[in-house]
Amino acid sequence: MHSFPQDQAPMSQKPISPLRRRMIEDMTIRGFVEKTQSDYIRHVKNFTIFLGRAPDTATGEDLRAYQVHQRATGVQPPTMNGATAALRFFFTWTCDRPEMARFLRIVKQPQKLPNVLTPEEVLLLLEGARGARDKTALAVAYGAGLRVSEVANLRVADIDRARMVLRVEQGKGQKDRNGMLSPRLLEVLEEWWLIGQPTTWLFPGRDPLLPITSKQIYRAVVETAAAVGIEKRVSPHTLRHSFATHMLEQGVDIRVIQVALGHTKLDTTARYAHVASKVLREVESPLDRLSPLKPLPRVKPKTSAP
């Protein structure tokens, strides 16, 4: 097969090599979204640059050497694991060499607790947002706990007033689901509809025919947080984390939160229990249920020898 990177060609057009085209077709057949396809192509291209020849000619030792190289150059575990997933797919499906997957190792990642805003900080962020569109988009991210891509791709028709839900089409894992639509969030959305008059996309981008991008929402959150003096690292996902944590602190059943977030596994939702400080403060320790303990014996201080 031809080498993986795009072949050089005159003018500005660069034809796609047969190997790259085949991988794209394999990913398309399996329903990979555009971002995942782009990430996988980038990872395989980086491996090709390291290898210095066509990637489908690689050996198991080449894959091992690549991971050693990644470690030595300071590549972080999430990036290494992303490359592992891409290369496993490439060799298993595009090259029909599934035995190559055993040479790739998943790197353990340190588990970090998500950043969470207090309710007061959320209010400060929402009130400080510049423009009605940005304020409403951030309100949806927090009020329904949606991912930034889910907020960006909402349509006007996705607001179901009768059932009080937001329809999320093809969310993570290409699954349709319903998000929360609280009375207060509906009020905010109705105000935005009167001001912005959206027709198709709930939050139109610079081109009215296209939706706002995830990067635009991210920039709005970061710039607003800086403007109102929030020193925590804040992103659109911080609002989703805050939504889940505040729900848990309100006593909402964790399984309900799981459904609201669209998590497949309860374990993913359970991590918010680690940052829900109000829950920890109010829960009764089993030690407190025991009978009063006897006072600790007093120990006489040791005296030095005469």
pLDDT digits (tens, 9 = 90+) for 256-280: 888 888 888 887 777 777 666 665 5
Q: Which residues contact 63 (CB under 8 A, 6 or more apart)?
A: 87, 100, 103, 104
Residue of 2, 22, 167, 172 marked catalytic? 172
Chain Cα centroid distance, residue 19: 30
Domain 18-103 has CATH 1.10.150.130: yes
Q: What is the pLDDT of residue 155?
A: 95
pLDDT tens across 129-162, in order? Answer: 999 999 999 999 999 999 999 999 999 999 999 9
Kindly calculate the radius of gyration of the chain based on its CA atoms and give it in whole angstroms.
Answer: 26
119-282 and 18-103 share a CATH fold: no
pLDDT tens across 28-42, in order? Answer: 999 888 889 999 999
User: Domain 119-282 belongs to what architecture?
Assistant: Orthogonal Bundle (1.10)
240 flagged as catalytic: yes
241 flagged as catalytic: no
Residue 11 has pLDDT above 60, yes or no: no
Residue of 43, 135, 147, 241 marked catalytic? 147
Residue of 237, 255, 265, 289 marked catalytic? 237
Q: Which residues contact 143 (CB under 8 A, 6 or more apart)?
A: 180, 182, 184, 185, 188, 243
What is the residue-wise DSSP string for the chain?
---SSPPP-SSS--PPPHHHHHHHHHHHHTT--HHHHHHHHHHHHHHHHHHTS-GGG--HHHHHHHHHHHHHTT--HHHHHHHHHHHHHIIIIIS--GGGGGG--PPP----PPP---HHHHHHHHHH-SSHHHHHHHHHHHHS---HHHHHT-BGGGEETTTTEEEE-S-TTS--EEEE--HHHHHHHHHHHHHH--SSBSSB-SSTTSBPPHHHHHHHHHHHHHHHT--S---HHHHHHHHHHHHHHTT--HHHHHHHHT-SSHHHHHGGGGT-HHHHHHSPPGGGGSPPPPPPPPPPPPPPP-
Q: What is the pLDDT of residue 251?
A: 85
20 flagged as catalytic: no
Q: Which residues contact 75 (CB under 8 A, 6 or more apart)?
A: 83
147 flagged as catalytic: yes
271 flagged as catalytic: no
> What are the residue boundaries of the structural domains of the chain, listed by start?
18-103, 119-282
pLDDT tens across 95-107, in order? Answer: 999 999 999 999 9
Residue of 2, 155, 167, 263 marked catalytic? 263
Residue 128 has pLDDT above 50, yes or no: yes
172 flagged as catalytic: yes
Q: Packing angle between helix 214-228 and helix 236-249, nearest 10 degrees? A: 70
